[in-house]
Structure 1
Amino acid sequence: MQTKLKILMVDDHPSMIEGYKIILSYNNLGLEIETTAAYNCESAYKIITNVSNKIYFDLVFLDYSLPPYEEMHMKSGKDLAVLIKIHLPNAKIVMLTSHTEAILLYDIISSVEPNGLLVKSDFSAEELLSAFDKIMEGEIYHSATVNHNLKEMFSQKKILDQQNRQIISLLAQGIKTKNLPSYLNISISAIEKRKVNIRYYFNLKKGSDEDIIREAKRLGLV
């Protein structure tokens, strides 16, 4: 039976990593915790892709908001999570974030499918240990704010589906609305209807493409 767990912890606040290490040392599964720390996208990228040393991890604690690694187009923990799934396919991923916006939380779940998603303001040491136990036993764990905000979003049908997110992404790349049909294979009228829905999702009663982009950037969606 495995008694040692190798964890990669990625957070730009060293004190947070130290806190996680101390809390997890009291885990209820009798596991010895061995940790490696990274404080930005660049250092995490180099650890994750370091195949020469054949580094493996059982679990990755990954903050969503991190200093970017522009050279390799790593802008956030979400980008690193995609990389982890390629290079460390057996590692469980726990995403941690200070963001509470339902749209961003939904985007993390739909694009990353992490084993755990926790809003930092939610959990105490006891809850972190409980989440750790459940994740290690194969459950998917979402903290209270994640569950509440997603339930509210679904009840209001405020969901950004994949095509709406593609529209936002293309607009953020500077593609004009009139040219979007070439990229999406849907009519301009269908795109305009979707933009109305996007404004509704963002609580924008009115607004230009620039307003949509600005709100999407504020929420970390682009």
Structure 2
Amino acid sequence: MSKKVKILMVDDHPSMIEGYKIILSYNDLGYEIETSSAFNCKDAHDVIIHPSKKNYFDIVFLDYSLPPYEEKNINNGEDLALLVKKTSPNSKIVILTSHIETLILYNIIKRVNPNGLLVKSDFTADELLKAFESIINDEVYNSATVKSSLKELLSKDNYLDDFNRQMITLLSQGIKTKNLPQHMNLSMSSIEKRKVQIKLYLNIEKGTDEDIIREAKKRGLI
């Protein structure tokens, strides 16, 4: 009798889900794959919170970019992952994304700490199987781009905490420094001190907000 793994797959491209199902059916561990599917944040939300599905899924595969469920303020796979952690803490979480921006990848790890994080451009069928088998064996699996992008950031964690990452993102969106207190729970003096930290991290001795944005883009942070 074969072992069974119950998986929820959430992706707004049904063909991708079909591809994942086929690939995982070839796993070398002898697992039978039982899959459920959702194609947007609302459908996924409804499956995840259903009483019969609490801790039902062994693994939840989540695409990062999904049609949002605005009524519940669920905007992407990261928000869904937090819902899974709350409602089904025994389920393992794998996030798949086309994003290669370091800050997005870093934020996913800091906020969700998933069992797997894979950049779609990285992986082949063999890599997806390798990730699946690692995660089933209680190992964390990050694809190559994730590893290389995060290596430097994780070594300088104090420079890019939640506030500093948010500040870089807001500046890149055109928010002026003088208006940052309206978007962050920080005083202007705290913001100025943090800008010094960010400039140190980016090796900017003297410079404007535009210099921060330019260097952050050069490093693939945004």
Structure 2 length-normalised TM: 0.80
Label 1:180 to 1:134 Cα distance change in 2 as closer, same or farther (>3 A): closer
Are 2:2 and 2:32, in contact at CA under 8 Å, matched by a contact in 1?
Answer: no
Which consecutive aligned stretches of 4+ in structure 1 deviate over 2 angstroms post-superposition? 152-160, 162-172, 174-181, 187-190, 195-208
Q: Supply the distance in 1 between the matched residues of 2:72 and 2:203 (Cα, whole angstroms).
A: 33
* SS state at 1:132 partner: helix
Are 2:6 and 2:33, in contact at CA under 8 Å, matched by a contact in 1?
Answer: yes
The one-letter code matched in structure 2 to 1:118 is L
Label 1:200 to 1:75 Cα distance change in 2 as closer, same or farther (>3 A): farther
Label 1:179 to 1:142 Cα distance change in 2 as closer, same or farther (>3 A): closer
TM-fit CA distance, 1:152: 3.9
- Quote the residue 2:208 is aligned against: 206
Is residue 144 from structure 1 mapped to residue 144 from structure 2 by the alignment? Answer: yes
- Quote the residue 1:11 is aligned against: 11
- Quote the residue 1:195 is aligned against: 195
The one-letter code matched in structure 2 to 1:192 is E
* SS state at 2:85 partner: helix
Q: Supply the distance in 1 between the matched residues of 2:96 and 2:32 (Cα, whole angstroms).
A: 22
Q: Supply the distance in 2 between the matched residues of 1:15 and 1:158 (Cα, whole angstroms).
A: 41
User: Structure 1 regions of 5+ residues with no counterpart?
Assistant: none
Label 1:159 to 1:46 Cα distance change in 2 as closer, same or farther (>3 A): farther
Label 1:180 to 1:143 Cα distance change in 2 as closer, same or farther (>3 A): closer
- Quote the residue 1:84 is aligned against: 84
Q: Supply the distance in 2 between the matched residues of 1:170 and 1:207 (Cα, whole angstroms).
A: 11
Label 1:201 to 1:40 Cα distance change in 2 as closer, same or farther (>3 A): farther
User: What is the alpha-carbon root mean square deviation over aligned residues?
Assistant: 3.3
Label 1:114 to 1:159 Cα distance change in 2 as closer, same or farther (>3 A): farther
Are 1:60 and 1:91, in contact at CA under 8 Å, matched by a contact in 2?
Answer: yes
TM-fit CA distance, 1:50: 1.0
The one-letter code matched in structure 2 to 1:100 is I
Label 1:49 to 1:202 Cα distance change in 2 as closer, same or farther (>3 A): farther
TM-fit CA distance, 1:160: 2.4
The one-letter code matched in structure 2 to 1:19 is G
TM-fit CA distance, 1:151: 1.6
Q: Supply the distance in 2 between the matched residues of 1:5 and 1:140 (Cα, whole angstroms).
A: 17
**What is the aligned length?**
209
Q: Supply the distance in 1 between the matched residues of 2:11 and 2:203 (Cα, whole angstroms).
A: 31
- Quote the residue 1:119 is aligned against: 119
- Quote the residue 1:33 is aligned against: 33
Structure 1 length-normalised TM: 0.80
- Quote the residue 1:98 is aligned against: 98
Are 1:103 and 1:160, in contact at CA under 8 Å, matched by a contact in 2?
Answer: no
Q: Supply the distance in 2 between the matched residues of 1:75 and 1:102 (Cα, whole angstroms).
A: 19
Is residue 44 from structure 1 mapped to residue 39 from structure 2 by the alignment? Answer: no
TM-fit CA distance, 1:5: 0.8
Q: Supply the distance in 2 between the matched residues of 1:67 and 1:198 (Cα, whole angstroms).
A: 33
- Quote the residue 2:160 is aligned against: 160
Are 2:2 and 2:30, in contact at CA under 8 Å, matched by a contact in 1?
Answer: no
Q: Supply the distance in 2 between the matched residues of 1:190 and 1:31 (Cα, whole angstroms).
A: 52
Are 2:61 and 2:93, in contact at CA under 8 Å, matched by a contact in 1?
Answer: yes
Q: Supply the distance in 2 between the matched residues of 1:201 and 1:93 (Cα, whole angstroms).
A: 31
TM-fit CA distance, 1:189: 2.2
The percentage of aligned residue pairs carrying the same residue is 58
The one-letter code matched in structure 2 to 1:114 is P
TM-fit CA distance, 1:102: 1.2
